[in-house]
Amino acid sequence: MIKKSDKISLESTLLQPWREEFDQIREFFDDEVHASILRLCSDDSFVNLLTDFFAQAQSNSSNEGINAKLRQTLNNLNSAKTIKELQLLVNEIATPIIENSITNLSFSGLDQLSPDRHYLFISNHRDILMDPLLLNFLLHHHQHKTAHCAIGDNLLKNSIALEFALLNKCFKILRSITSPREILKAMKLQSAYIGHLSFNRSSNIWIAQKEGRSKDNLDKTNPALIKMLGLEKPKEMAFGEYIDRLNIVPVSFSYEWDPCDIDKATELEITERQGHYNKQAIEDLTAVKKGLFGSKGSVHVHFGNELLDGTLKDLKHLEIAERIDQSIMQNRLTFPVNRAAELALSALPVKNDAPIQLKDQPPFSEDQIKKATEELNGRLQHCSPEVRQRVLLNYATHSIN
């Protein structure tokens, strides 16, 4: 039986003291907020970005209405003094975007999580900005602390994007380095910082299950992510026990329609044909805009809780990654478009001899399948056969084993 004193001693070993190196990746503190916002609001590039943002978010408004909203937002931003105040403003801005681009937002499992505990949310990753935005939107509206979000520094090369991300509780994942020695050093730093957020500050954290968006909709956790989380564990603690104490909650994002579906398929097709894909600097910004404002139909977010039962303690990183994958895949929602894509794909020539194996299908009506098929055909009418097949395959992964 563990004594109370032993338990307190064990808990104390989890604490990660502050390190100067954390300044390389950390988000802003409250006392840095106001000065940062004043810098942003005086930057023409930021003001122009906000103007473009409101023009797309309020496409039915007049220029006068958009300008009035811009002035109001700038005034509100200039008055924000803390991260919490800023995030409340961001939530106000995000609400009409969510309402205009999502016909039905649903969620499950969140009621099984305690607002008094800290969690490490690990999710599949379909959209650069919408995934963490929806996660924090749901957490905020159901009395949970918003999450600190891990974001690759490759997406933060623009100074405005960097500053606004750091204001919104985003911390950097160092992906632009290439030296194996520096990569290991960066992974240890990230592991220690995540431990600091979890155990010193009892903060919620979000991180994608692998680097970058899933462009093929095959949601697989990179085992290296799990190994990274445990790099700075206390020496006297087993790997599995430390990972278990991070309170991992798998999160499944299910989007009915992906505004970037053709772009993702095109990138995969070019990569397969040429062996590489040269991404243009503007593509990430374009993807952010499409993901935010493009129609997504119904969206469902499931918060898994089956990993919180202490069963990770005796597992290795590969097994823990598999447990996360099982949760994410089992709790993805299937939509009529997934069935429509599978039916369309089964009528096309297959590149290999492997037969298409189908999962049990939900009871969609003929009208639902017909409507989804018409929407698919409309989206794909100007695509090459190769890209068309790739898009269909991506949507059909919910139906194909």
Cβ neighbours of 201 (radius 10 Å): 13
> With 80 as the cut, is the pLDDT of residue 358 above it?
no
Tell me the residue length of the chain. 401
Sheet holding 297-303, edge to edge: 102-108, 297-303, 248-255, 120-123, 205-208, 148-152, 170-173
Other CB atoms within 10 A of residue 361 CB: 13
Could you tell me the end-to-end alpha-carbon distance of the chain, in angstroms, rounded to an integer? 46
pLDDT, the chain, mean: 90
Q: Please give the model's pTM, rounded to 2 decimal places.
A: 0.92
What digits encode the pLDDT tens for the residues 292-339? 999 999 999 999 999 998 889 999 999 999 999 999 999 999 999 999
What integer is the mean pLDDT of 103-128? 96
pLDDT in tens, 62-75: 778 888 888 999 99
Please check whether residue 69 is in contact with residue 54, taking contact to mean a CB–CB distance below 8 angstroms: yes
Give residue 9's pLDDT band: very low, low, confident or very high (50, 70, 90): low
CA-to-CA separations, 327 to 114, 124, 322, 335, 394, in angstroms, rounded: 19, 10, 9, 18, 20
Q: pLDDT tens digits for 192-231?
A: 999 999 999 999 999 999 988 888 888 999 999 999 999 9
Report yes or no: 278 and 321 within 8 Å, Cβ to Cβ.
no
What the chain holds in terms of domains, given with CATH numbers, is: 4-28+102-333 (3.40.1130), 338-396 (no CATH)
Q: Which of 122-126, 144-148, 149-153, 213-217 has the lowest mean pLDDT?
A: 213-217
